[in-house]
Amino acid sequence: MNMKFGTTLKNCRHLMECAKELNVQIVGVKFHVSNPCMESQAYKHAISDARCVFDMAEEFGFTLNMLNIGGGFIDHELDLEEINRVIIPLLDTYFPEESGVNVIAEPGCYYVSSAFTLAVNIFAKKAVQSGDPLLSKLEQTQNDEPVFIYYMNDGVYGSFASKLSENLTTIPEVHKKYKEDEPLFASSLWGPSCDELDQIVENCLLPELNVGDWLLFDHMGSGSLGEQPALNDFQRPPIYYVMSIHNWCEMQDAGFISDTLMKNFCFVPSCIQLSSEDSFSIAA
């Protein structure tokens, strides 16, 4: 039951028939629009299809009272407002309040999609010239400057798991001091697995980095910190969670006091300045 499953609108009648034969009560409909889908119109089709299923259920004597519009909402307010603009009129039309249908959603991913700043360590680097077959078209430069390929200790089979289903637009911050006039080079960032899918950032401009330097990725969270299996004998690095004492006290006040839940957290004295999110996860 840990696998996603569902059916098409065409097959719903067959499922209704089976449920009737097995004396199984159907109470509602759930759909899910994954976060890589940027088309708000997908909700329009899904809600209208759900209405068809509700009508179909009445023919079989079922009384449905639950509609779950799923999760997958992304963390951009403008996109959420656009989805809201599409959903509300449809719900008023197909599932008005007097219908008695409870409409719920699963916005957990939305709330924690920017919960952390992730710090990763560079363990290898490679300098290649423009025209090298290792480089994609986006990574080719117009001059003879080298393109740097950096390998980090975490990738898509770890904290960047969401990169497998959506584009990562965040450009990392270099966690070291460098001169303002220091030259920037075309750079490509990869995870440790040697898998061609394990490319985190295809092309960005960074100062030349060294092995051992740290990069900070903002807006990390949902779908990026779950346990992932090892690949190609690369074990995922341990993750250490860091927060301010102020946030720790707020979590305790909110009831998060489980030793098991908080065992990997460490604290930062108030004299140390954190980012605006005030929470870090470190792949060490």
266 is catalytic: no
Kindly name the residue from 52, 194, 249, 266 that is annotated as catalytic.
Answer: 194
How many C-beta neighbours within 10 Å does residue 247 have?
17
What residue ranges define each of the domains in the chain, with the CATH number in brackets?
9-111 (3.20.20.10), 114-283 (2.40.37.10)
Which residue, 280, 124, 132, 109, is CA-closest to 213?
Answer: 124
Contacts of 61 (CB under 8 A, 6+ apart): 20
Instruction: Print pLDDT tens along the chain (284 aa).
Output: 455 678 888 899 999 999 999 999 999 999 988 766 667 788 888 999 999 999 999 999 999 999 999 877 765 655 677 788 888 999 999 999 999 999 998 887 777 777 788 899 999 999 987 666 555 554 555 556 789 999 999 888 888 877 766 655 568 889 888 777 888 999 999 998 888 888 899 889 999 999 999 999 887 876 665 555 555 555 666 777 787 788 778 877 887 665 555 555 555 544 334 444 445 555 55
Give the span between the Cα atoms of 150 and 73, in whole angstroms: 31
Model's pTM, two decimal places? 0.65
Q: How many helices (H) and strands (E) does the chain have?
A: 6, 12
Helices 41-59, 77-94: axis angle to 10 degrees equals 30
